[in-house]
Amino acid sequence: MKEYPKLYNLKENCCGCTACASICPKECIYMEFDDEGFMYPRVDYNKCINCYMCKSVCPFKVMEGINGNVKNYV
Ligand code: SF4
Ligand code: SF4
């Protein structure tokens, strides 16, 4: 079975755009505020079906695919 998606490793590799949460067909990604008031996605793995649509729309993953210069995002 595919691994559950990990959307980012470092905060600098997530801009909180909410694209992943918007596209998730199971609505299992929710945005949470950190202590500084920035939003980051969290996945409810109990509902996730490993479709990876969240990763396919993430601008950081797309940039990585194009020019390979975004590191440590997983
Ligand atoms: S893999 Fe699919 S179901 Fe799981 S969080 Fe991403 S978009 Fe949602
Ligand atoms: S799509 Fe990527 S950059 Fe946007 S909130 Fe989700 S993980 Fe962060």
- In ligand 2, the atom with minimum distance to the C-alpha of 39 is 5
Q: How far apart are CA 68 and CA 3, in angstroms?
A: 22
Q: How far apart are CA 27 and CA 10, in angstroms?
A: 23
CATH of 11-67 among 3.30.70.3270, 3.40.640.10, 3.40.30.10, 3.40.50.20: 3.30.70.3270
Q: How far apart are CA 52 and CA 38, in angstroms?
A: 24
pLDDT (tens, 9 = 90+) of the chain, 74 residues, equals: 678 888 998 999 999 999 999 999 999 999 999 999 999 999 999 999 999 999 999 998 877 766 555 454 44
User: What pLDDT was estimated at residue 73?
Assistant: 45
User: What pLDDT was estimated at residue 72?
Assistant: 44
Query: Global pTM?
Result: 0.86
User: What pLDDT was estimated at residue 10?
Assistant: 92
Show me where the domains of the chain are located: 11-67
Candidates 49, 61, 74: which one to mutate for ligand 1, based on the most atoms within 8 Å of Cβ? 49
